[in-house]
Structure 1
Amino acid sequence: MLEVMHLTKKYRKTLAVDDVSFSVPDGSIGILLGPNGAGKSTIIKSIAGLLRYDGEIRIQNFPGRSPEAKKVFGYVPEIPAMFDALTVAEHLEYIRRAYQSDITDEETGALLARFELEDKKDKLGNELSKGMMQKVSICCALAVKPKVMLFDEPMVGLDPKAIKELKDVIQELSRDGVTILISTHMLEMVKDIWEVMFVMDKGKILASYTREEAAHRDIDELFFTITEGEKGICKD
Structure 2
Amino acid sequence: MLEVIDLVKKYGKQNAVNNITFKLDGGEVVGLLGPNGAGKSTTMKCIVGLLRKTSGEIYIGGQDHLSVAAKKLFSYIPETPHVYDLLTVKEHLQFIAQAYGVKNWQSKAEKWMALYDLSDKQDKLGRDLSKGMRQKVSICCALLPDPQMLFFDEPMIGLDPKAIKNTKQIFRELKEQGKTILVSTHLIDGVENIADRIMIMKDGNIIGNDTLPNLKATLNSGADSSLEDLFLELTKDE
TM-score by length of 1: 0.94
Runs of 4 or more consecutive aligned structure 1 residues displaced over 4 Å after TM superposition: none
Shift of residue 206, structure 1, vs aligned partner: 0.6
Structure 2 counterpart of 1:27: 27
Structure 2 counterpart of 1:234: none
Structure 2 counterpart of 1:158: 159
Shift of residue 104, structure 1, vs aligned partner: 2.9
Correspondences of 1:10-21 after superposition (within 5 Å): 10-21=10-21
The unaligned stretches of length 5 or more in structure 2 are: 217-222
Structure 1 counterpart of 2:7: 7
| More divergent stretch after superposition (102-111 vs 40-49) | 102-111
Q: Give the secondary structure class of the aligned counterpart of 2:51.
A: coil
Correspondences of 1:73-112 after superposition (within 5 Å): 73-102=74-103, 104-112=105-113
The unaligned stretches of length 5 or more in structure 1 are: 231-236
Structure 2 vs 1, CA of residues 180 and 89 (structure 1 numbering), >3 Å: closer, same or farther?
same
Equivalent position amino acid for 2:29 in 1 = I
Equivalent position amino acid for 1:123 in 2 = K
Distance in 2 (CA, whole Å) between partners of 1:100 and 1:62 is 20
Q: Give the secondary structure class of the aligned counterpart of 2:50.
A: coil
8 Å Cα contact 1:18/1:203 also seen in 2: yes
Equivalent position amino acid for 1:228 in 2 = K
Distance in 2 (CA, whole Å) between partners of 1:214 and 1:205 is 13
Distance in 1 (CA, whole Å) between partners of 2:128 and 2:107 is 25
Does 2:231 correspond to 1:223?
yes
8 Å Cα contact 1:72/1:144 also seen in 2: no
8 Å Cα contact 2:6/2:57 also seen in 1: yes
TM-score by length of 2: 0.93
8 Å Cα contact 1:32/1:197 also seen in 2: yes
Distance in 2 (CA, whole Å) between partners of 1:211 and 1:228 is 18
Q: Give the secondary structure class of the aligned counterpart of 1:183.
A: strand
Equivalent position amino acid for 1:112 in 2 = M
Correspondences of 1:1-236 after superposition (within 5 Å): 1-53=1-53, 54-102=55-103, 104-214=105-215, 217-228=225-236
Distance in 1 (CA, whole Å) between partners of 2:114 and 2:171 is 17
RMSD: 1.4
